[in-house]
Structure formats: C-alpha cells, structure tokens
Amino acid sequence: MNYWWVAVAVVVFSFALTHVLRRYALHKSLIDIPNGRSSHTIPTPRGGGVAIVISYLMVLVWMVSTGLLGRDLFLAMFGAGALIAALGFLDDHGHIAARWRLLGHFFAAAWALFWLGGLPAISVFGMTLAPGLIVNVLAAFYLVWLLNLYNFMDGIDGIASVEAICVCVGAAIIYALSGFASLVWLPVLLGCAVTGFLLWNFPPAKIFMGDAGSGFLGIMLGCLSLQGTWISSQFLWVWLILLGVFIVDATVTLIRRLVRGDKVYEAHRSHAYQFASRRFGKHLPVTSAVGVINLCWLLPVAVCVTRFNLDGALGVIIAYAPLLALAVLFKAGALEKS
C-alpha cells in the first residue's frame, strides 16, 4: 500500500513543530551562546530536535496501530527513544551528571535489546559469530556509542540532519533493491521527520537540534540497524557502512583524546568536521560534503554488499579506508592551536 501521503504529512508536521519550538526557545531564552569550544559565532536557539522526536514517536504509534509495526519492535524503539530523548531534554534545560546520563543510556540500550531479542548470528569473513551474552554486551556498547557519537557529531549546522537523511534514504534503497519493501517505511519516515527540522537547521541554522534530538537519532538508527540484522546479517554491515562518516570521525577523535589523557566527557571542537569547517570558514561546504560522501561513496559500497556478494566486513574496511584518510588529513582528535 502507498503511504507517501504520510511521509509528506510528517515533513510538514516536523517543520511546523520546529517553528513552534524555536519560538518557545526564544521566549524561554534557551539560547546556545558561542564560547571557545563552539563551532558557531551567532547565539542560536536550541532544542529543535524535539520536533524529530515527537514526529517519529507519533509515526511509531500510527504504524503499530495499523499493523505495520510489530509490538516488540515498537516497544524497543518507542521505549528506548523516549528515554534517551527525555534525558537529552533535561540536559538541554539544565545539567545531568555524565555518570547518570551514561547509566540511562545503558538502560535504554538494554531495553531495546530485550525487545529486539538481542543480536542474532553475524557472518564475519565467512565465519559465523554465534549470539550469546558477550555478543549482546557488545551490542549494548554499540548502541550506547552510536547515540553518544551522534551527539558528538552534532556540532555544525545541518550535519547531523544530513547524515540521518542520507543514511535513512540509503537503507531504504537497499531494502527495496533486496526485495524487502516492507522495511522501507521505518527509515523513510525517520528521514521525513528529520527533513522537516533540517529546513530550519540548514546552514545558516535558525535553531539547533540539542541533545534530545541527536541522542534520539543515534538510538533510533541503532535500533533500525539491529532490526535489519534479524532479516539478514548483511544488513548490519550495510548500516555500519552507511554510518561511516560519523563512526570514523568520532572514533578516531575519541581514541586520540584517550591516548592523550583528555577528559573525553568534556566539550571540545577537535573532530575532523570541526577542523574542516574552520579551514573553509563556513559550515555549508562540510555539511554538503557529508551528503556527497554518503550518496556517492558509502551507498554504492553498501549496495555491493547486498547485490554483488561483497563480504560485509570487507565492505566496511573498503568504505572506511578513505574516511580514515580524511580524518587524519583534517586532524581528528588533534589539539587545536591557540
């Protein structure tokens, strides 16, 4: 059945709700003031990502009520997403200690894994990694890292939104090409919820996403990747490839800061994309480059995994190699010169 009218409605609703949230943020003085660790120079209202959260949670309710979404997947995504968004919303409006945020993140990951049934068997270079406690613990860390890296990478105008839309569109295309049309709507409608917000967040941004929106996107993309894995282990590699820009930049940056002994929970602006935005003097070229890399490099590699029998783990290595070179080129994790 054709549900494209729902997609249009989600974009419009998200756009309108972002406008309302922007007015609310201005009225309540929820403004992101530039400082020495910021990548922007103009005070800008924050918290617009709540529009993504509300729009997509409503989509999940509609899908489960119409039979398009199973109960267990609904509980996994709605419960984990609502918890992460609530933690982010509270942190946007005040401050929650890092240890309590992290505890909440692991609880949300455990909740999602419980209802998803954990992580199924995965094929790695032709060998099968059997499911079990160790694999599920790794899956929990994967979800927690994904939602946190999404927060870390939401540092310049439009980048987190463009990444989410490209990843969702890429996954939907691959699902359709692979004969799983029923899987298309979850990523498509998430992309639609982000699109409505992006119309306000595109450089120069009129409102920022905030922790509620970025963390929510991270956990939703993680849940969708695990859902796909239950259909075929190839789809886990597909999602890892499509998320490559954020995974590589955030991971390289974290490793270099850990090695240097930095307090990794403190705000900084040493990601490759942040160095790149300062080099080019604006956000638009970097945000646009993320979209181009996703659609012109990562998506074709992911298609090779599902359509031309490229080993998934090898596909990740091939996809990440130039991204790693870019991360090194733009000094991901390096100390910023005064």
Q: What contacts 64, CB < 8 A, 6 or more positions away?
A: 70, 71, 74
Which residues participate in the annotated binding site? 151, 211
Range of the domain at 113: 4-329
Q: For residue 338, is pLDDT > 60?
A: no
CA distances from 40 to 7, 22, 143, 213 (A): 32, 17, 29, 19
Given the structure tokens 């992309």, which residue do they identify? Answer: 191
Cβ neighbour number for residue 160 with a 10 Å cutoff: 30
pLDDT for the residue 93: 79
Whether pLDDT at 274 is above 80: yes
Is residue 338 a part of any domain in this protein?
A: no
Annotated binding site for Mg(2+): 151, 211
Q: 10 lies in a domain? A: yes
Measure CA of the first residue to CA of the last residue in the chain; give whole Å.
58
Tell me how many domains the chain contains: 1
Average model confidence (pLDDT) for the chain? 94
- pLDDT (mean) for 129-141: 90
User: What pLDDT does 116 receive?
Assistant: 96
The model's pLDDT over 2-42, given as tens digits with 9 standing for 90+, comes to 788 999 999 999 999 999 999 999 988 888 887 666 677 78
- Hey, is 45 helix, strand or coil? strand
Residue 313 domain flag:
yes
Asked if the model's pLDDT at residue 323 lies above 70, the reply is: yes
> 133 pLDDT exceeds 90?
no
- Average pLDDT of the segment spanning 171-198: 97
Average pLDDT, stretch 305-312? Answer: 95
Report yes or no on 142 lying in a domain. yes
Helices assigned H by DSSP within 66-97: 71-93
Residue 295, number of CB atoms within 10 A of its CB: 14
Q: What is the pLDDT of residue 1?
A: 61
At 36 the pLDDT is: 62
- The mean per-residue pLDDT over the stretch 98-123 comes to 94
Q: Quick one: pLDDT at residue 37? A: 65
Percent of the chain topping pLDDT 70: 98
Is the model's pLDDT at 283 over the cut of 80? yes
Count Cβ neighbours within 10 Å for each residue of 121-138 and write b for 16 or more, e otherwise: ebbeeeeeeeeeeeebee
Q: pLDDT digits over 285-303, tens only?
A: 999 999 999 999 999 999 9
